[in-house]
């Protein structure tokens, strides 16, 4: 699923593992960054990393049909509760850039993306401070 704005492209994609788990990925691309680099990606993560449910296990586990239905509902809820509000933060890119400069894209996950090249690229392009 993709949505484009004047400056950004937001994407949610789905995959599966050979172990019967679902993966959901969140990608944000900047059209401004893409003009300079071959890719405009400025954020890429698994949906579960946006949540506070994130643990060592990064998958939405499905082993039975009943479990699959429950997990699909959980993914839908996570998209509404976490992915869409995360995308909305890009409407105020200057404010977001300041927040990302201070604590990364995911402040609830300390040091998650502190050294991530995509985070650095976003800060280089959008942060106007110091």
Per-residue pLDDT of the chain (130 residues), as tens digits, is: 999 999 999 999 998 887 778 889 999 999 999 999 888 999 999 898 888 766 656 677 777 777 888 888 989 999 999 999 999 999 999 999 999 988 888 877 666 666 788 889 999 999 987 6
Q: What is the pLDDT of residue 111?
A: 62
Q: What is the pLDDT of residue 54?
A: 60
Token digits of residue 101: 């400069």
Q: Residue 114 and residue 10: Cα distance in Å, rounded?
A: 21
Q: What is the pLDDT of residue 71?
A: 85
Q: What is the pLDDT of residue 52?
A: 73
Q: What is the pLDDT of residue 27?
A: 96
Q: Residue 76 and residue 96: Cα distance in Å, rounded?
A: 25
For residue 34, CA distances in Å to 8, 55, 77, 122 come to: 10, 32, 31, 11
Q: What is the pLDDT of residue 40?
A: 93
CA-nearest of 90, 56, 57 to 71 is: 57
């Amino acid at each position: 699923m993709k949505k484009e704005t004047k400056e950004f492209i937001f994407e949610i994609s789905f995959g599966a593992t050979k172990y019967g788990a679902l993966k959901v990925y969140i990608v944000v691309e900047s059209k401004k960054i893409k003009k300079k680099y071959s890719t405009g990606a400025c954020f890429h993560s698994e949906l579960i990393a946006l949540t506070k449910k994130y643990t060592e296990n990064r998958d939405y586990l499905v082993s039975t049909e009943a479990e699959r239905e429950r997990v699909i509902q959980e993914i839908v809820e996570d998209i509404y509760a976490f992915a869409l509000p995360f995308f909305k933060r890009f409407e105020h890119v200057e404010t977001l850039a300041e927040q990302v400069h201070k604590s990364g894209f995911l402040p609830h996950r300390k040091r998650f993306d502190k050294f991530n090249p995509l985070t650095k690229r976003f800060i280089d392009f959008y942060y106007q401070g110091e």
